[in-house]
Amino acid sequence: MTAFPEGFWWGVATSAYQIEGSPLADGAGPSIWHRFSHTPGHIAQGDTGDLACDHYHRLTEDIDLLVELGVKAYRLSIAWGRILPEGIGATNPRGLGFYQRLIEGLLKRGIKPVVTLYHWDLPEALQDRGGWVNPDSPLWFAEYAEIMFRALADRVAAWVTINEPWVIAVLGHLEGRHAPGQRDAWAAPRVGHHLLLAHAAAVDLYRTLGQQSIGIALNLEPQHAASADPADLQAAQRRDAFINRWFLDALFFGRYPAELAQIFGAAWPEFSADSLVQIRCPGDFIGVNYYTRARVAADPGSRPLGAVCLKPPRHQCTEMGWEIYPEGLSETLGWLKDRYGNPCILITENGAAFADPPPQAGVVADPQRIHYLKKHLSAAAQALSQGVDLRGYFVWTLLDNFEWTEGYSKRFGLYWVDRANLQRYPKASARFYRAIIATNGAAALAD
Ligand code: FCB
């Protein structure tokens, strides 16, 4: 028995900067992550994406891994700067050619391409014009999106416009932990708004050019109060507005949660009524990136939220320090259904980093990841049985790769990558996931 519907999209996800390497090859323009990772002090061990998994040169080998897994769909992202080295203007056919080969290779093997247009690697040339703070940024994005739709729309099964706008606005522009490394409360809400306008512009364009589906991917995590104390309950509500409702309320209701004006204070802009109408654009599906939950306590000294997250005990966490909390996935999916009118959902990312041992006899033993996936798939099945319109599930990620500020120190892959020679080895979880796909989920639900 399986709770997963016929035709469910079983997949894995990756992103360009994290796996491709050769960021400047064949005429590509550098991205903000290229500059950021090359600035000392930003990335653990001084790692960069220069080599990554060398996917740029190992396309065929990596497609073979997807075939070995038996995935129905593969979520990849396009490096904007390979297509438009300056971000706008002249296109670079050699960069486009790489993705055309990749997508042809997938289709030939019966794998549906799911393509993310923006997974954080803005062309540096556009950052020099202010990046996402610039009110023209949605137009830049629309120009790029149109090129991609014209080149590939008939071959791509689903498009994701933007990956995790919250991470871009907050980690990139408020906390400065991600590229472009800004710490500016004024910038963050404007960046968030421009990302939503960019998404809406791409969706509008797609309606005239494409026939499949288009959505956005959001990082969502339940915010649980650390105690029944009203101050903690309010802190959890504020954090819920900040992380979960910021983009969802905008996409579904054309408004921002009232808490945001309170959190950002004078830095929160007066958005025009027109632009609020425009950003009311949920698209065809919501992509959910789910990893963990937060337990939140009030802390008036912590600016700007007045809240802190409790640190869970080490043994309940992945290597990222994120609590393993599969119940939060069914909770999140059920909440999306109830609050936003049962939207169509793809789980566009779910997975975990563990300290995997090196391969023995060609295989890596990773029982913790198997356990993690099993529990989260059971949670997904539970959501399905409660009427959530879930259409697919993508494991983050195919290969151990460049995990942003953590560099190569965190391994999320179903395949282990030897950093010395980039050879790929299956982890036991790859075999487990293969069995799940082959049984349309039944193997995840068996004891
Ligand atoms: C998500 C990102 C993805 C990956 C995972 C671990 O926030 O979208 O690129 O780094 O986290």
pTM (2 d.p.): 0.98
Q: Which of 124, 164, 259, 323 is catalytic?
A: 164
Amino acid 210: pLDDT: 85
What percent of the chain has a predicted confidence (pLDDT) above 90? 97
The DSSP line for 161-203 is EEE-HHIIIIIHHTS-SSTT----TTHHHHHHHHHHHHHHHHH
89: Cβ contacts below 8 Å, ≥ 6 apart: none
Amino acid 444: pLDDT: 86
- pLDDT beneath 50, residues of the chain: none
Q: Exposure pattern of 149-163 as b/e (b: 16+ CB <10 Å)?
A: bebbbeebbbbbbbb
Using a 6 Å CB cutoff, which residues line ligand 1?
15, 18, 163-164, 167, 219, 289, 349, 396, 403-404, 412
> What is the distance in A from the centroid of ligand 1 to the CA of 412?
10
C-alpha to C-alpha distance for 294 and 83, rounded to whole angstroms = 38
C-alpha to C-alpha distance for 246 and 184, rounded to whole angstroms = 18
Residue 46 CA to its chain's centroid (Å): 23
Amino acid 445: pLDDT: 86
C-alpha to C-alpha distance for 209 and 222, rounded to whole angstroms = 36
Which atom of ligand 1 lies at the shortest distance from residue 404's CA? 10
Q: Please indicate whether residue 164 is annotated as part of the active site.
A: yes
CA distances from 328 to 237, 253, 379, 383, 386 (A): 16, 24, 8, 11, 15
Amino acid 51: pLDDT: 98
Kindly state the tokens that stand for 202.
């791409």
**Ligand 1, from 289, 346, 395, 414: best to mutate by most atoms within 8 Å of Cβ?**
289
Q: Please indicate whether residue 104 is annotated as part of the active site.
A: no
CA distances from 110 to 74, 107, 409 (A): 11, 5, 33
Residue type, 85: P
Domain range list for the chain: 9-445
C-alpha to C-alpha distance for 153 and 35, rounded to whole angstroms = 31
* CATH superfamily of this structure's domain 9-445: Glycosidases (3.20.20.80)
Nearest CA to ligand 1 atom 9: 15
Whether 83 and 148 have beta carbons less than 8 Å apart is answered as: yes
CA angle at 281 for the pair 404 and 158, rounded to the nearest 5°: 60
Amino acid 1: pLDDT: 53
**Ligand 1, from 15, 404, 414: best to mutate by most atoms within 8 Å of Cβ?**
404
